[in-house]
Amino acid sequence: MGNSLSVDGRASIHVFASAKAWIEGSATRQLEEVARRKGVTAVAGMPDLHPGKYGPVGCAILAETVHPAFVGGDIGCGMGLFRLDAEVRKLRVDKAVERLRVLARSWDGDAAACVAAAGLAPTGFDAALGSIGGGNHFCELQAIEEIVDADAAAAAGLDAEAVFVLVHSGSRGLGTSIIEEVLAGGLVALDPAGDEGKLYLDRHDHAVKWAALNRRIIAERAAAAVRAEAVPVVDLPHNLAEVTAGGVLHRKGAAPSDRGLVPVPGSRGTLSYLVQPVGAKPESLASLAHGAGRKLDRRSMHGRAGTTRSELERLARNRFGGIVVCEDRNMLIEEAPDAYKSIEQVIGDLEAFGLARVVATFRPLVTFKSVRERDERSRTRHREKGFVDKRHRGWGEGGAGGGEREGGR
């Protein structure tokens, strides 16, 4: 059982974090505020808990009604892990860095056909499929550092010699458009059986599926860039709501623990973990941490990191010899490893509370985030398809994933 907090007789709160976890008081206060909302029956906080825009990130919330704000704007944002049919020993990191620049360009695939094949209705945002976004979103080539549970790894098809791709992205502008419309008049709680609740859930479910398709296309683009093919290992959203027998379960920066293996990335300078959920503690609301969780907000990172050219150069490398492709100076600083909590502490808490066990760890080879456009013609193509370079306009929460202090880079 997690640490229980008293909230004036309202919904119960269980925080699955030890005294060593870095959790800000403001995040705890946001948990308490959420628990006081009408119709909320239970709240679970994970060790990556930190403050967010509409409420804390790194939590699960059970309620009698649908609260779109609890999901946020990047509906369906999640992590997808894919195995490539390429061997680590044959990968030329320097060449991979150059080839992955293609991810900054708009995808030239048939978006309409992919959307139709996925059983989705077309939207005005489909031209953005295959794009990562900004903020803490990324596409990372990885290699297995250690297999801890050989049986579980074998069952998942993990190959210690293979290259892997981990993608963190979501529904881009599609999710933002939904939340902006739903919350135009302020926070709402919707009856899941009512017309407004059904409409939101239908649009929400579409965005969740769209986000999963987006991650798959990004992984396939990365695989093609290094002359390989991608095979899905696991894909999980961590911003979503679902109607259950016990009520509406909202997850904001919390990975479902009832769907198999869960990727839990650290910062771009640490290992990422693949864990197996264990136990069935009702207080955890079938959820796990979705990453390390931010320790410092983006503004606080300016002046702390990247103050000199040599420091900026160091931020473009990691301790494993990997390379970070991020040509946006602000993003490079704001997403520095020091901005995040200790992933080892987060994983340790998940294990200590009996929520998960480690299956394997992965080291970063190439972390792709952003590159500068090389010519005006390329910028024009981006604008025509709905892309905006961060230097020309601010990123929105759903459009780029940068509006909240999300947890996994």
Catalytic residues: 290
Nearest alpha carbon to residue 106 among 315, 292, 385:
385
Q: Long-range CB contacts (< 8 A, 24+ apart) of 376-380? A: 378/105
C-alpha dist (Å) from residue 236 to 166, 168, 275, 346: 11, 10, 13, 18
Distance, in Å, from the CA atom of 138 to the CA atom of 117, rounded to the nearest integer, reads: 25
Instruction: Specify which residues 166 forms β-bridges with.
Output: 81, 140
Nearest alpha carbon to residue 281 among 352, 353, 345:
353
Distance, in Å, from the CA atom of 102 to the CA atom of 81, rounded to the nearest integer, reads: 20
Residue 173, C-beta contacts closer than 8 angstroms, at least 6 positions apart: 125, 128, 386, 396, 398, 399
Q: Are 60 and 239 in contact (CB under 8 A)?
A: no
Q: What is the DSSP letter of 340?
A: B
